[in-house]
A and B are shown apart, each in its own frame.
Chain A
Amino acid sequence: MMDRYTWPQTIGIYACILVFLTFILLPFFEMFMASLRPLEHLFRAPYQFWSDDFSFGAYSRMWDTVPLLGRYIFNSVFIATAVTAITMVFVVPAAYAYARLDFPFKNASLAIFLGVNMFTGAVLLIPLYRVLRSLGLLNTYWAMIVPGVAFLIPTGIWLLRSYLEKIPRELEEAAYVDGATRMYTLRRVVLPLAVPGLIVVGSSVFIGAYAQQFLFAITFNQTRAYQPLPAGLFEFIGYQSVTWNEMMAAALTGVLPVMLIFLFLQKYLVAGLTAGAIKE
């Protein structure tokens, strides 16, 4: 194929990517550096970029400072996974219905879903608190899972619906003519073809669930054993001092497994996000 960019364009593009990546990655880099520094360094002026007394000590000390750290990391992953699984159970049939079936108020309800997305959790915290209290769910895992699912379903439906719409209708018609029911067709034809889309939607729901759990955790849950990592990180803020280096180490450790999974899923994400962009 022809080279589509001239070299000044190429340089421009790479320069933009560099600036962009710097903004995104610099905080992570700074977190990592902070996690290696002895605590005194953090308050010393002038700022010292490199020093000989860097160590990975914070990575072992953090488990003693906050004994429940492992539990918090587990909770984070557990809550996000549960939210994702439950969300997908609702999103798949709903998205399919929106993609293929005709029913009253189809477009209106879809618009409402989009509208709901504009009120992210924060605005609704107080009513949600009352709802969860009436249901007796405060201070349980459910307190973080249920609102998480509720807020992620609309985006999930929107994303998956547009993916399912790209699956040729004739495939489903062929199955119908051959006597397959809707559910059979969904299971044997539509979902296997939608795997990249499911991965994209699943990942974005997971990211959403991971990001929003902090808000729900500090509002709806007082039980330490159920706290996810972002809430648990508060325990590094002691009465006298804040062990910033350990907090950074813990944050990185908590995010790392998730990042690895996404690195692995990356090719699906890219394939999914650009699906249909080129003619096959």
Chain B
Amino acid sequence: MATLDLTSISKSFGNAAVLHDISLAIRDKEFVVFVGPSGCGKSTLLRIIAGLEAATSGQIVIEGRDVSREHPVERGIAMVFQSYALYPHLTVYENIAFPLRVQKLAEAEVRQKVGRAAEILQLTDKLQLKPGQLSGGQRQRVAIGRSIVRNPKVFLFDEPLSNLDAALRGDMRVELSQLHRSLNATMVYVTHDQIEAMTMADRIVVLNAGRVEQFGTPMELYHHPATKFVASFIGQPNMNLVPATVREATGEGVTVELAGGHVMSVPVEGHAAMKGAKVEVGIRPENVTLAEGAGLDITVNVLERLGGVSITYGTIAGGTRFCATLPGDAAVAEGRNIALAVDPRDCHVFDASGKVLRRRQAPALVA
């Protein structure tokens, strides 16, 4: 039962506060992804879990035991670094065997464990090569091999795929998900790529400027983003955020007038005091269609026809940018004005502080 609990982790480098009061409860065998823009503190948090960095305050508990002061090996973690951190002068075999050599295991046992890891990672015929002779994907697998020989309770990955090209990254995503299933271990994975987060995670932690913005399943984050930040970070292309003014607000719904004059009633929980307030309405590009009659008017600036879909970049009167994912054969052209139909039930409303108003009709929260 490798649970991982963080309680009130804070970290400062000198005067610079990097992490603020982070608490997370990660379940056994869970694949949790930390995602956030560059510099938000993902690596620092991972290094604190690993024991490479000491938290300024807070506790790390693995399997119910406080390990805040313990060495990485005693914590039972293994880490895969972004640069792979392979030893260039050692063979693949010795790289994978390194943690076992440190433990001074007998050669037979080392051979058996390295052999098993190499088999899982399809490196058996590469064992005598040096890391310099391998491709990026193979190096990545060696780095993973080195982490699995020790049978750690928790695996930590710091942007392991960011040095690979796009095609290979797709393959490795699948491989890592399979590895997670076959090892049955708890994994914490850091990335700035929301697609990696969405595809691999059981649950995602969205970090922003050293704070947890939201912690939930990919579908929770997609359908119920807690903040504007999460909403615009998750989903591809990014969610449109259209400035709007509240005409009327009740617990049942909020009637807003979007920039450009389009008016709609969004079924989110508002309150009467919001009347007249400036808000932002979040509309995902994939949630709009071409309107039969009147709708949200946009001027198309750039059209990207990808075959299956046409990604349409335009502006609403007043200059707000708006992106729509339309069918591949949609009758649109650059420079033309089009009207888009938006189902208010698909919309999100964010108040001036960036917090979301609770949606009343949306896919139920997945537990």
Contact = CB atoms under 8 A, between A and B. Distances in A.
Given A177-B78, A179-B102, A168 B72 contact: no
A271 to B, nearest CB: 15
Given A193-B88, A193-B89, A177 B83 contact: no
Contact of A174 (B71, B77, B79): B79
Nearest to B52: A173
B85 interface: yes
B73 A178 contact: yes
Contacts of A125: none
B87 A189 contact: yes
Contact of A170 (B72, B73, B81, B102): B81
A184 interface: yes
B52 A176 contact: yes
Interface string B22-58: 0000000000000000000000000000111000000
A179 B88 CA distance: 19
Given A170-B81, A184-B102, A177 B51 contact: yes
B85 A168 contact: yes
Contact of A178 (B82, B83, B99): B99
Given A177-B73, A179-B99, 10 more contacts: A171-B85, A173-B81, A174-B81, A174-B146, A176-B52, A177-B52, A178-B78, A178-B102, A179-B102, A193-B89
A175 interface: yes
A270 interface: no
A168 B146 CA distance: 18
Contact of B85 (A170, A179, A184, A188): A170
Contacts of A184: 102
A192 interface: yes
Contacts of B150: 178
A168 B83 CA distance: 9
Given A173-B52, A174-B79, A180 B102 contact: yes
Nearest to B50: A177
B98 interface: yes
B103 interface: yes
Contacts of A192: 89
Interface residues of B, number: 23
Interface of B: 50-52, 71-73, 77-79, 81-83, 85, 87-89, 98-99, 101-103, 146, 150
26 contacts: A170-B81, A170-B85, A171-B85, A173-B52, A173-B79, A174-B79, A174-B81, A175-B102, A177-B52, A177-B77, A177-B78, A177-B79, A178-B72, A178-B99, A179-B71, A179-B102, A179-B103, A180-B98, A180-B102, A184-B102, A188-B87, A188-B98, A192-B89, A193-B87, A193-B88, A193-B89
Contact of A177 (B72, B88, B89, B101): B72
B261 to A, nearest CB: 54
Interface in A161-194: 168, 170-171, 173-180, 184, 188-189, 192-193
A150 B146 CA distance: 43
A12 to B, nearest CB: 38
Nearest to B72: A177
Interface string A180-212: 100010001100110000000000000000000
Interface in A207-266: none
B308 to A, nearest CB: 40
Given A171-B87, A193-B89, A179 B81 contact: no
Contacts of B72: 176-179
A131 B190 CA distance: 60
A178 B87 CA distance: 13
A184 B150 CA distance: 18
A168 B82 CA distance: 12
Looking at B78, B81, B85, B146, the one whose CB has the most chain A CB atoms below 10 A away is B85
A192 B87 CA distance: 10
Nearest to B103: A179
Contacts of A177: 50-52, 72-73, 77-79
A170 B83 contact: yes
Closest 8 CB pairs of A and B: A178-B99, A174-B85, A179-B73, A170-B85, A177-B72, A179-B102, A192-B89, A180-B102
A188 B103 CA distance: 14
B52 A178 contact: no
A166 B88 CA distance: 14
Looking at A168, A176, A179, A180, the one whose CB has the most chain B CB atoms below 10 A away is A179
Looking at B79, B103, B150, the one whose CB has the most chain A CB atoms below 10 A away is B79
Nearest to A180: B102
Looking at A170, A174, A184, the one whose CB has the most chain B CB atoms below 10 A away is A174
Contacts of A178: 72-73, 78, 98-99, 102, 146, 150
A192 B88 CA distance: 10
Contacts of B79: 173-174, 177
Nearest to A192: B89
Contacts of B99: 178-179
A213 B225 CA distance: 75
Nearest to B81: A170
A110 B52 CA distance: 27
A170 B51 CA distance: 14
B77 to A, nearest CB: 7
Looking at B50, B52, B102, B146, the one whose CB has the most chain A CB atoms below 10 A away is B102
Nearest to B78: A177
Contacts of A176: 52, 72
A166 B288 CA distance: 53
Contacts of B89: 192-193
Nearest to B143: A174
B8 to A, nearest CB: 24
A175 B72 CA distance: 10
